[in-house]
Structure 1
Amino acid sequence: MVLQYKPYTEYIDSGIDWFGSVPKSWTLTRLKFEATVNMGQSPSSEDCNQDGIGLPFLQGNAEFGLINPSPKQYCETPRKIAHTGQLLFSVRAPVGALNVADQIYGIGRGLCAIEGARNLLNSFLWWLIPIIRSELDAVSTGSTFEAVSAEQVENVSFYNPSLSEQFNISRFLDHEIAKIDTLIVKQQQLILLLKEKRQAVINHAVTKGSNPNAEMRDSGVDWLGKIPVDWDVVSLKHLVSAPIIDGPHTSPTRQEDGIPFISAEAISAGFINFEKKWGYISKEDHQLYSKRYAPQRGDILMVKLGATTGTVAMVETDEAFNIWVPLATIRTRADIPSKFIFYLLQSSSVRDAIQLSWTFGTQQTLGLGTIANLRTPLPPREECEKIIKLIEKKNPIFDQLINKSEHSLLLLKERRAALISAAVTGKIDVRNWVAPEETQSNKEVAA
């Protein structure tokens, strides 16, 4: 898309790696010379409330929306203020997150308020900041979270076009990016719909079976409803060949190489993502932990601690690895197809039932006893196999469509980023750009 726009006629080397070549007429400057940067400061917690008393207060980017924030706190005596129209810039992870103040806000130390001076339009700065994030990412520091200081923000270098060019660039990007964003939203909605349809296949198959004409009976379980008459309902603990347990409750020593050690972050979409492993452990630790549990192909791992509680994955490798305490292990009996239990645990009905049993401390937790006592439908083995085949026949079609849609979404996002970068760094010349509807209006007037 960028190729359809003409470049400027004359360029020079900017001397800034991420900026590349720049139109000769643009001026090298720093943010502190073109804008005011007001770093936030956190008030005492006693001065904050959720009762709407005082100014709406933002500690960081947690309340950021697509363009404007949605405050949840208020402060009677904020130490720093952002005024309407100023840009709210996150100076803590994720560094560079951006919103616009739609009213006066008190701001904490996770934010700064930026406002262009006479030679820098806020509308241009809105599009420039996502591009200068690369420089800020390079200097961000912090052991607990990445952060940038006021000095680092103020000293960001960039090339500034004339005010008229800034205005045209902003109008161009407002128009073109809005079109791309509309396509992105539609693609995201399509992906969501496809995932819902994929999930519906699993939900119906594992609770109603493969025969649409099967005679039904009440299961006696509220969340399960009616099931085929020849199905049983049993606790999960009666379907396993070994007790449902979790990984070791001790912290191993991380090694540079060795045996992969898996925790909750590696469990997603039904698979173990070994690229997201916690790290490696020694063979000695692996042997020690394997006395408690040694993974086998066909085992099911369920997250029982943290934000992804209830997520499951199946072991599909014979390579040695081990697991940590946030994961529970389910090994089915030889006469119970493990894939049926795997799909059952992915159904939204089971996940809803599990959520009712969560306990909350600092994070959501699912007890091993709760998992073991989960009431589950149990079809005859032949029906289990039919259900597995049904799911594995239909869902690859949805998987293919989802992958294709996600690839299209990625291309749209890349196209969006490339167009913004090209415009604010002068790789394309939009000084004479006119919105298509304006061109059409002019033709109508002329006629």
Structure 2
Amino acid sequence: MSRYQAYAEYKDSGVEWLGIYPSHWVLTRVKFESYVKARVGWHGLKSDDFTDEGPYLVTGSDFIGPVINWDNCYHCDQERYEQDPYIQLKEADLLITKDGTIGKVALASGLNGNATLNSGVFVVRPLSNSYTTRYYFWLLKSNVFTGFVDFNKTGSTIVHLYQDTFVNFKYAMPSFAEQEKIANFLDHETAKIDLLIEKQQGLIALLKEKRQAVISHAVTKGLNPNAQMKDSGVEWLGVVPEHWTLKNYRYATKIYRGKFGHRPRNDPALYDGNYPFIQTGDVAQAGKHILNYKQTLNDRGAAVSQKFPAGTLVMAIAANIGDTAILDFEAYAPDSVVGFKPYENLDLEFLRYSLMAALPALEQTSTQSTQANLNIDRIGSVQAAFPLIDEQLEIVSKLDSLIERYGQIEEKALIAIECMQERRTALISAAVTGKIDVRGWQA
């Protein structure tokens, strides 16, 4: 914040979440400046009240950044809309969620018809022309407001922002002209930061695509650009080096499925023993090797599960199908996981990269009932290409090096995003509390 000047004089607010504020600002509360209403009591709408047309019915899930996504809003009939005139929305109304993820804020802009609220959302509107909701939006996005919420929910396990609590939120309010200046400043400066964050997120997405493309090319085309090629006759493989062998996975590796049957999935009588129990989440979070686990089985649980030896390549075949990792210890696994033990002359890590490249082909074979699912027969029926063991090891070494490099770039991008998000938060809080003076700012 060193590039911005402070105000000349400050006062101590005596408020834990606010601290000092510019001496010419006014210390006030929401209830002195704002009309705050929500849908209450028997006016609460149920799923049967939602319609495909009619007045908009806004919920917290319709908040997309600073605005309402009108295209995805539910609707209600006119009678329900007219039931509660206090929550009939107007252009530029400020909305804030009070249940679930509390404190999400959006402006009702671009309103092109009648709209009302479902339960879980407050509408906040100035009682007079004392403030602009654009400034209030940024105030409620600041650490000042989140500090107030945290202070008031200490010790409570229920995530709920009560109206009596919210209207007593104490803050310092500048003049209307300063509010507009602060809102313009934050609109402009946060948009610049958001664009930089978006670019870093785009870089991460490109890295993921690049990683998949590099793996796919290496395990289907090899590393020698001058190698003689042949048509594999397999869609996902295309042409492959002439000297590579084509075979189904069932002939390249032993495939066996986890199990955990004939019991309630969360039966406590089977857990908390001496046997490590890995699940799809452990595979997804592992990276290349599974080193940790969150759950264990006792003797009864182990008796109804499948044991995988150390050195097994495991794959999730439900939920996030295709996630793979190498198990570094003996463990049990449920039926949402399969294990692979390569036959002779197949490197375990090459097999892992091969399965990663084959994921689109594996997904095509998965069942699509309630969710994607694979089974041993479907995996085993997919055909892949395999070089001799020395070439497999060379490919693994090259891919390990490239994946590590991509991982380092991704890590730097994630750190950059975190830093920019912190700067964004700090800038908002500094501006709405008067820690920086932006009256002379110009875009």
TM-score category (smaller protein): 0.7 to 0.9
Report if aligned partners of 2:6, 2:434 keep a CA contact under 8 Å in 1: yes
Question: Residue 351 in 1 paired to residue 365 in 2?
Answer: no
Question: Residue 108 in 1 paired to residue 118 in 2?
Answer: yes
Once residues 433 and 285 of structure 1 are traced to their aligned partners in structure 2, the CA distance between those partners, rounded to angstroms, is: 72
Secondary structure, counterpart of 2:343 in structure 1:
coil
Q: Measure how far apart 1:418 and its partner are.
A: 0.9
Once residues 368 and 245 of structure 1 are traced to their aligned partners in structure 2, the CA distance between those partners, rounded to angstroms, is: 11
CA RMSD of aligned residues (A): 3.5
Report if aligned partners of 1:12, 1:24 keep a CA contact under 8 Å in 2: yes
Secondary structure, counterpart of 1:234 in structure 2:
strand
Q: Measure how far apart 1:420 and its partner are.
A: 0.8
Partner of 1:442: none
Question: Residue 6 in 1 paired to residue 5 in 2?
Answer: yes
Once residues 261 and 407 of structure 1 are traced to their aligned partners in structure 2, the CA distance between those partners, rounded to angstroms, is: 33
Question: Residue 270 in 1 paired to residue 287 in 2?
Answer: yes
- 1:434–1:339 Cα change, 3 Å: same
Report if aligned partners of 1:252, 1:285 keep a CA contact under 8 Å in 2: no
Once residues 164 and 35 of structure 1 are traced to their aligned partners in structure 2, the CA distance between those partners, rounded to angstroms, is: 18
Report if aligned partners of 1:268, 1:312 keep a CA contact under 8 Å in 2: no
Once residues 340 and 245 of structure 2 are traced to their aligned partners in structure 1, the CA distance between those partners, rounded to angstroms, is: 20
Secondary structure, counterpart of 1:179 in structure 2:
helix
Q: Measure how far apart 1:388 and its partner are.
A: 0.9
Once residues 32 and 331 of structure 1 are traced to their aligned partners in structure 2, the CA distance between those partners, rounded to angstroms, is: 67
Show CA shifts across 1:237-282 (max 9, x none): 333335233566732549899766543334147346878x6x4436
Partner of 2:220: 207
Matches within 5 A, 1:355-434: 355-430=363-438, 432-434=439-441
Once residues 212 and 388 of structure 2 are traced to their aligned partners in structure 1, the CA distance between those partners, rounded to angstroms, is: 23
Report if aligned partners of 2:308, 2:339 keep a CA contact under 8 Å in 1: no
1:235 maps to which of 248, 268, 286: 248
Percent identity, please: 30
Once residues 13 and 309 of structure 2 are traced to their aligned partners in structure 1, the CA distance between those partners, rounded to angstroms, is: 55
Show CA shifts across 1:337-389 (max 9, x none): 11112122323xx2322333344455443344433433333333222222212
Show CA shifts across 1:259-309 (max 9, x none): 66543334147346878x6x44365467546x6224523x33323333x33
Secondary structure, counterpart of 1:429 in structure 2:
coil
Quick check: 136-145 or 333-342, which moved more? 136-145
Show CA shifts across 1:74-97 (max 9, x none): 333454543322233233443222
Report if aligned partners of 2:229, 2:240 keep a CA contact under 8 Å in 1: yes
Secondary structure, counterpart of 1:99 in structure 2:
strand
- 1:309–1:143 Cα change, 3 Å: farther
Once residues 98 and 259 of structure 1 are traced to their aligned partners in structure 2, the CA distance between those partners, rounded to angstroms, is: 47
Once residues 273 and 27 of structure 1 are traced to their aligned partners in structure 2, the CA distance between those partners, rounded to angstroms, is: 57
2:98 maps to which of 91, 95, 100: 91
Once residues 17 and 258 of structure 1 are traced to their aligned partners in structure 2, the CA distance between those partners, rounded to angstroms, is: 48
- 1:313–1:30 Cα change, 3 Å: farther
Aligned residues: 423
* Unmatched 5+ stretches in structure 1: 437-447
Partner of 2:56: 56
2:229 maps to which of 192, 209, 216: 216
Q: Measure how far apart 1:203 and its partner are.
A: 1.8
Matches within 5 A, 1:125-204: 125-131=136-142, 132-137=145-150, 146-204=159-217
Partner of 1:440: none
Report if aligned partners of 1:86, 1:100 keep a CA contact under 8 Å in 2: yes
1:312 aligned partner, one-letter code: T
Report if aligned partners of 2:276, 2:297 keep a CA contact under 8 Å in 1: no
Once residues 24 and 285 of structure 1 are traced to their aligned partners in structure 2, the CA distance between those partners, rounded to angstroms, is: 70
Secondary structure, counterpart of 1:36 in structure 2:
strand
Once residues 270 and 143 of structure 1 are traced to their aligned partners in structure 2, the CA distance between those partners, rounded to angstroms, is: 37
- 1:280–1:128 Cα change, 3 Å: same
Once residues 214 and 372 of structure 1 are traced to their aligned partners in structure 2, the CA distance between those partners, rounded to angstroms, is: 28
Once residues 199 and 135 of structure 2 are traced to their aligned partners in structure 1, the CA distance between those partners, rounded to angstroms, is: 27
Report if aligned partners of 1:92, 1:110 keep a CA contact under 8 Å in 2: yes
Question: Residue 76 in 1 paired to residue 77 in 2?
Answer: yes
Secondary structure, counterpart of 1:296 in structure 2:
coil
- 1:19–1:144 Cα change, 3 Å: closer
Report if aligned partners of 1:42, 1:107 keep a CA contact under 8 Å in 2: no
* Unmatched 5+ stretches in structure 2: 82-86
Partner of 2:84: none
- 1:379–1:117 Cα change, 3 Å: farther
Question: Residue 311 in 1 paired to residue 323 in 2?
Answer: yes
Report if aligned partners of 2:271, 2:301 keep a CA contact under 8 Å in 1: no
Secondary structure, counterpart of 2:226 in structure 1:
coil
Report if aligned partners of 1:237, 1:243 keep a CA contact under 8 Å in 2: no
Once residues 260 and 98 of structure 1 are traced to their aligned partners in structure 2, the CA distance between those partners, rounded to angstroms, is: 44
- 1:89–1:258 Cα change, 3 Å: farther
Once residues 381 and 434 of structure 1 are traced to their aligned partners in structure 2, the CA distance between those partners, rounded to angstroms, is: 65
Using structure 2 for the length normalisation, give the TM-score.
Answer: 0.82
Q: Measure how far apart 1:109 and its partner are.
A: 2.2
Report if aligned partners of 2:306, 2:334 keep a CA contact under 8 Å in 1: no
Partner of 2:67: 67
Q: Measure how far apart 1:419 and its partner are.
A: 0.7
- 1:223–1:170 Cα change, 3 Å: same
- 1:243–1:35 Cα change, 3 Å: same
Report if aligned partners of 1:12, 1:22 keep a CA contact under 8 Å in 2: yes
1:48 aligned partner, one-letter code: F
Question: Residue 292 in 1 paired to residue 302 in 2?
Answer: no
- 1:228–1:64 Cα change, 3 Å: same
